[in-house]
Amino acid sequence: MPNFKHIITSLWDRVKAFLVRAGTVIFSVSVVLWVLTSFPSAPEGATGAAIDYSLAGMLGHLLHPIFAPLGFTWQMCIAMIPASPPVRWWWPLWVPSMRSVPVALKMPSAMRSSPSC
């Protein structure tokens, strides 16, 4: 029978390791996004929103022509910035696992040969 203390200790170690890894990524992306949205500040007498003059605004306007055919606004392009690091980090783990999907989805020959209605 499993030891309750061992289960709790093992669970805590895994939770702590996950929080350290995820917390590091979340904190780092938050700091980068804060810097991009805060600097440089809007010039004196600017009539537009401050984000229009920031590095994030410039990057959003730069990416907008690429994503405009998908219906994205420049603000949506800015919102994709924090989402891009997790995609790049998980993509190498996810793609190799997709190799087995076509094999798993093959239809049995009896189903392929059945007449359609």
Q: Is the pLDDT of residue 21 over 70?
A: yes
pLDDT at 109: 52
The DSSP secondary-structure symbol of 108 reads P
pLDDT at 70: 92
C-alpha–C-alpha distance, residues 80 and 70, integer Å:
13
The tokens for 50 are 């401050």
Which residue would you say has higher pLDDT here, 74 or 25? 74
> What does the DSSP assignment read for 36-102?
HHHSSPPPTT--S-GGGGSHHHHHHHHHHHHHGGGT--HHHHHHTTTTHHHHHHHHHHHHHHGGGHH
pLDDT at 103: 46
Angle at 77 between CA 33 and CA 56, to 5 degrees: 35
Closest C-alpha to 89, from 26, 2, 13: 26
Residue 1 half-sphere exposure, CB side, CA atoms within 13 Å?
Answer: 2
> What does the DSSP assignment read for 84-107?
HHHHHHHHHHHHHHGGGHHHHTPP
Which residue would you say has higher pLDDT here, 91 or 83? 83
* pLDDT tens by residue, 30-75: 898 899 899 898 889 888 888 989 999 999 999 999 999 999 999 9
